[in-house]
Amino acid sequence: MAEDFTSGMVWLVGAGPGDPELLTRKAERLIRAASVVFYDALVGPGVLDLVPQHIRRVPVGKRSGRHSKDQKAIDELIVEAALAGERVVRLKGGDPAIFARATEEIEACRAAGVAVRICPGITAASAAAADLGLSLTLRGLARKLVFVTAHARAGEALDIDWTALADPQATLAIYMGKAAAGEVSAQLIAAGLSGATPVALAENASLATSRNFTTRLDLLPLAAKSALGDGPALILVGAAVEAARITERETKREYRRPRSKISKLNSLTMPR
């Protein structure tokens, strides 16, 4: 057994956005070395297939409105397994340090005297940008990248400094924002961001079932309601997103090109 993963240790491992090929080599090694894996609902099935059959798998997923276990219960399960001498992997979708409740689990482990470490993963914003073929930063136009969650606790309003976020030189990566798309749009516009600001919505980023759409900030509520399904979605807002809109328009023009021109183009580019 590797020295960095001995009995009684806990690793918080980033499973990435879902595509198993985006899992880090270290993450895969830790998964294979574990004796028990506690995994989130957002961990892709392809990643779970990498867990050997002899390793115990325990689902502890939380999705909006569907919580199998509360956070305190998850903390207790992790600590109990580690104190029993297990090699514990807590497998989290994306990156454990980004909106993944890692702090609670780290504090619970440390309070119990359990060694805990983090293995980072690719976060949804990076996967969405890759799917859309754009850079999240843009020289002269998008000087900042801001990660924000639009998910609030049940019964609570979103506690967000909208004025700080309404920066035309920033790219906003809004996690868990599908249900709050209307408020996101209204609040950012009220705080001074133009309604024409480019927006992209990415659902199931990195997976074969991914769906990507581009729109404007003022049309975001309609797009989120009509274009997205039940999968996890991320919203990107800012000037950098215009690259995805340009690509989408070019693709649509290709589809509309008359067949005769397509045939002529193919005759010029296809090997004889």
Domain parsing of the chain, residue ranges: 10-119, 124-251
Residue 201, beta-bridge partner list: 213, 235
Q: Model-level pTM?
A: 0.85
3-state secondary structure of 208: coil
At 216-269, the pLDDT tens digits run 999 999 999 998 888 999 999 999 999 776 655 555 544 344 444 333 333 333
User: Which fold would CATH assign to domain 124-251?
Assistant: 3.30.950
pLDDT at 270: 36
pLDDT tens digits, one per residue of 58-102: 999 865 555 567 999 999 999 999 999 999 999 999 999 999 999
> Which residues fall within 8 angstroms of residue 53, CB to CB, at 6 or more apart?
none
Q: How far apart are CA 6 and CA 2, in angstroms?
A: 7
CA torsion angle 222 227 230 233 (round to 10): -80
10-119 and 124-251, same CATH topology: no
Please give the structure tokens belonging to residue 205. Answer: 């980023």
Mean pLDDT of the chain: 88
8 A C-beta contact, residue 239 and residue 168: yes
3-class SS string, 40-91 = CCCCCHHHHCCCCCCCEEEECCEECCEECCCHHHHHHHHHHHHHCCCCEEEE
Class of domain 10-119: alpha beta
Q: Which of 38-47, 51-60, 150-159 has the lowest mean pLDDT?
A: 150-159
Residues, the chain: 272
